């Protein structure tokens, strides 16, 4: 069993963001300007000095960061992948991972197909639109194939695992699923394992050509609110939200589960955001323990994965990466997840360079 943490690559400047947010913008600009909005509100989230305000174009830091996760038992990432009919964004850190054989972590990709919009406002402020066609589906596969061919890429029964963000919002999901499978077979794979991410709503995956679903945390429930009606920002109780998620009915399809250490997107949305209260490592550990048992009992051997939202969603107050408040308390909870992959890599001394040890923060 492995935990797979969602990973946001938006910690380096790109021209598309410069045009909207200003020159040199990264996710850190949002995090730095955040302020507490109610008594006891934990903002801003400041990264611990062991990671700092990093730039993911720094390949030494990228290797260090991955080693930090790996050495604590968090041995896999799911990178968000942005491709708008051939126009890719934020791909440079992912390409660095492909090139860098000192990085040992397994990985998969989550294609975020929805329009690119100003995150401070929402989907109404779109500035890059997605277009859909069979030709674009074919081109998408060929853009993804270098990742699928990497020995570290996660497969389910030999099939590359590709997550589709908000699959229920994809207007041609069935066509894309068919085309991706056709192209994968031409490329020498037996098939693909396509998983929809339950970002906004659940669905029967087979109805749109998918194999399974991945739960996305947190789930929003009005009865878990601790703020009054009309009070902003909306506040939800972390413990109650976790309890609701753990007691969800088992669906009639394969669903890989998801844990989360907290949530607070007021850094992005201000008073119009949503903040969890009461989040702490002890409650997060109870969630991990439950999902480990659930996964072991319910899911087939090839799907023994637990997803985590997220490694570094700092702008959403949702990160395992160490911060000044909790240090590495969340990260250390993954140490029991020792894996055959991790043991094999260390035993054979594969992809390891002591210069990138987590005790050597060379980027500083």
In-domain check, residue 364:
no
**Residue 201: per-residue pLDDT:** 81
With a cut of 80, say whether residue 53 has pLDDT above it: yes
With a cut of 70, say whether residue 357 has pLDDT above it: no
> Are β-strands 305-308 and 2-7 bridged in parallel, bridged antiparallel, or unpaired?
parallel
**Residue 67: per-residue pLDDT:** 97
Mean per-residue pLDDT, 181-205: 94
**Residue 356: per-residue pLDDT:** 32
With a cut of 90, say whether residue 119 has pLDDT above it: no
In-domain check, residue 335:
yes
Mean per-residue pLDDT, 318-340: 93
Mean per-residue pLDDT, 175-191: 97
Residue 27: how many CB atoms within 10 A of its CB?
22
Mean per-residue pLDDT, 250-263: 97
Helix (H, G, I), strand (E, B) or coil at 270: helix
Among 90-94, 98-102, 142-146, 219-223, name the one with the lowest average pLDDT.
219-223
Among 56-70, 94-108, 275-289, 331-345, name the one with the lowest average pLDDT.
331-345
In-domain check, residue 361:
no
**Residue 337: per-residue pLDDT:** 87
**Could you give the number of structural domains in the chain?**
1
Q: Is the peptide bond before 310 cis (omega within 30 degrees of 0)?
A: yes
CA distance 176 to 130: 14
Query: Is the separation of the CB atoms in 335 and 328 below 8 Å?
Result: no
CA distance 217 to 164: 15
With a cut of 70, say whether residue 274 has pLDDT above it: yes
CATH number for the domain that contains residue 94: 3.20.20
pLDDT tens across 223-240, in order?
889 998 889 999 999 999
With a cut of 80, say whether residue 339 has pLDDT above it: no
**Residue 347: band (very low, low, confident or very high) from pLDDT cuts 50, 70, 90:** low
**Residue 220: per-residue pLDDT:** 79
**Residue 345: band (very low, low, confident or very high) from pLDDT cuts 50, 70, 90:** low
**Residue 352: per-residue pLDDT:** 35
Give percent of the chain above pLDDT 90.
85
Bigger pLDDT: 363 vs 203: 203
CA distance 223 to 312: 28
pLDDT tens across 148-174, in order?
999 999 999 999 999 999 999 999 999
**Residue 9: band (very low, low, confident or very high) from pLDDT cuts 50, 70, 90:** very high
**Residue 76: band (very low, low, confident or very high) from pLDDT cuts 50, 70, 90:** very high
In-domain check, residue 318:
yes
Report yes or no on whether pTM surpasses 0.75: yes
DSSP per-residue string spanning 300-361: -GGG-EEEES-SSBGGGTB--S-BTTTBTHHHHTTTT---HHHHHHHHTTTT--GGG-TT--
Bigger pLDDT: 24 vs 353: 24
**Residue 354: per-residue pLDDT:** 31
**Residue 364: per-residue pLDDT:** 40
C-alpha 113: how far from chain center: 15
In-domain check, residue 363:
no
β-partners of residue 166 are none
Domain that holds residue 66: 2-356
> What integer best gives the mean pLDDT of the chain?
92
In-domain check, residue 18:
yes
Mean per-residue pLDDT, 202-212: 94
In-domain check, residue 197:
yes
CA distance 292 to 312: 22
**Residue 340: per-residue pLDDT:** 59
Mean per-residue pLDDT, 337-351: 61
CA distance 356 to 364: 13
């Amino acid at each position: 069993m492995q935990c797979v943490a969602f990973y946001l690559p938006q910690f380096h400047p790109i021209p598309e963001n410069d045009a909207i947010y200003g020159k040199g913008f990264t996710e850190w600009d949002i995090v730095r300007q955040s302020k507490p909005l109610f008594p006891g509100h934990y903002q801003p989230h400041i990264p611990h000095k062991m990671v700092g305000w990093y730039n993911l174009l720094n390949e030494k830091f990228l290797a260090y960061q991955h080693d930090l996760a790996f050495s604590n038992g968090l041995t896999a990432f799911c990178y968000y992948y942005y491709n708008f009919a051939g126009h890719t964004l934020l791909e440079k850190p992912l390409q660095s991972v492909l090139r860098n054989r000192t990085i040992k972590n397994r990985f998969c990709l989550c294609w975020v197909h929805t329009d690119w919009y100003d995150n401070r406002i929402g989907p109404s402020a779109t500035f890059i639109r997605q277009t859909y066609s069979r030709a674009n589906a074919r081109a998408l596969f060929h853009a993804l194939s270098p990742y699928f061919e990497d020995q570290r890429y996660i497969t389910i029964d030999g099939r590359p695992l590709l997550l589709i963000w908000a699959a229920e919002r994809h207007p041609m999901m069935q066509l894309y699923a068919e085309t991706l499978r056709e192209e994968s077979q031409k490329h020498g794979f037996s098939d693909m394992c396509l998983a929809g991410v339950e970002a906004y709503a659940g669905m029967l995956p087979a109805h749109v050509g998918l194999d399974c679903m991945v739960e996305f945390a947190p789930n929003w429930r009005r009865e878990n609110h601790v703020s009054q009606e009309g009070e902003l920002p909306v506040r939800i109780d972390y413990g109650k939200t976790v309890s609701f998620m753990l007691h969800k009915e088992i669906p009639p399809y394969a669903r890989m589960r998801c844990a989360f250490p907290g949530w607070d997107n007021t850094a992005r949305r201000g008073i119009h955001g949503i903040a969890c209260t009461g989040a702490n490592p002890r409650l997060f550990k109870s969630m991990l323990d439950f999902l480990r048992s659930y996964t072991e009992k319910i899911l087939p051997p090839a799907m023994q994965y637990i997803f985590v939202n997220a490694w570094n969603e700092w702008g959403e107050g949702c990160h395992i990466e160490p911060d000044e408040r909790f240090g590495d308390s969340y990260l250390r909870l993954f140490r029991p997840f020792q894996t055959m992959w991790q043991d094999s890599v260390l035993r054979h001394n594969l992809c390891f360079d002591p210069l990138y040890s987590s005790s050597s923060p060379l980027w500083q």
